[in-house]
Amino acid sequence: FTQVERNDWPDTSTSVLLYSFLQHSRDCTFVSDLNCLKNELLVSRISDDDDDDELQTDGNRCGRFQAREEVPDEEIFRIIGAQLAEIGDKLTAEIETSVIQNLAQHFRRENMSKEVMTMQISHVVQELVRKMPLDMEKEKAMLVISMALAKKVVNSVPSLLQQVFNATVNYINQNLHDYVNNLAPEVIKN
């Protein structure tokens, strides 16, 4: 694990979703690394919360209170992640080993920017969506495939967990942010 600056950590709801997906996926060979990642994420979030609580001239604290009311509870994203892990477990068999090896090789390159990593994930996801006969809407397929790719890459090279995790969350935020946020009301209804 390499230390990453706090502002490199991804969006909370997407991070919770991906973490839950990985945690509930079968055949994860990187469980201890995943637990370390969870601790890193918790420390980062606590620090972010502390930074946002500015003292006002009237002595009260301001910060994310209003935003927190608008963001669905993290538990909902944990549930969604666990549900998507079941779908992802079925899809992982469809992903060729060569695709995973190529993606892992890209992540091993030094000095690769977040943008390039995210573009690489996007390219692979688009290819897989085109190749796989999926019985689900395109956005859901893209989401599950991106998270399944993360799992498979990290299974093959556990030391890439943090990089792959962050790049996958960036990909999801850039391409599927609205879709992910709209999943929460669906879970609440059911």
Predicted local confidence at residue 128, as pLDDT: 94
Predicted local confidence at residue 111, as pLDDT: 78
Angle at CA of residue 58, ends 53 and 62, nearest 5°:
20
2 belongs to a structural domain: no
- Domain membership of residue 167 as a residue range: 7-189
1 belongs to a structural domain: no
- Residue, of 114 and 122, whose pLDDT is higher: 122
Give every CB contact of residue 12 below 8 A, 6+ residues apart in sequence.
Answer: 45, 71, 74
Among positive and negative, which fits the CA dihedral 174, 101, 41, 15? positive
39 belongs to a structural domain: yes
Residue with tokens 């973490």: 19
| Per-position DSSP letters for 10-41, written without gaps between them | PPHHHHHHHHHHHHHSTT-S-HHHHHHHHHHH
pLDDT, average across residues 114-136: 91
161 belongs to a structural domain: yes
Whole-number Cα distances in Å, 95 to 66, 124, 179? 42, 10, 23
CATH code: domain of residue 50:
1.10.437
64 belongs to a structural domain: yes
13 belongs to a structural domain: yes
Predicted local confidence at residue 154, as pLDDT: 95
**pLDDT band (50, 70, 90) for residue 5:** very low
- Residue, of 146 and 132, whose pLDDT is higher: 146
Highest mean pLDDT among 33-37, 106-110, 124-128: 124-128
Number of domains within the chain: 1
pLDDT, average across residues 25-33: 86
Q: Is 95 exposed, middle or buried (0-12, 13-18, 19+ CB in 10 A)?
A: buried
Q: What digits encode the pLDDT tens for the residues 65-118?
A: 333 334 457 889 999 999 999 999 988 888 999 999 999 999 998 778 888 999
Q: What digits encode the pLDDT tens for the residues 140-183?
A: 999 999 999 999 999 999 999 999 999 999 999 999 999 998 88
36 belongs to a structural domain: yes
Percent of the chain with pLDDT over 70: 73
116 belongs to a structural domain: yes
pTM recorded for the entire structure? 0.78
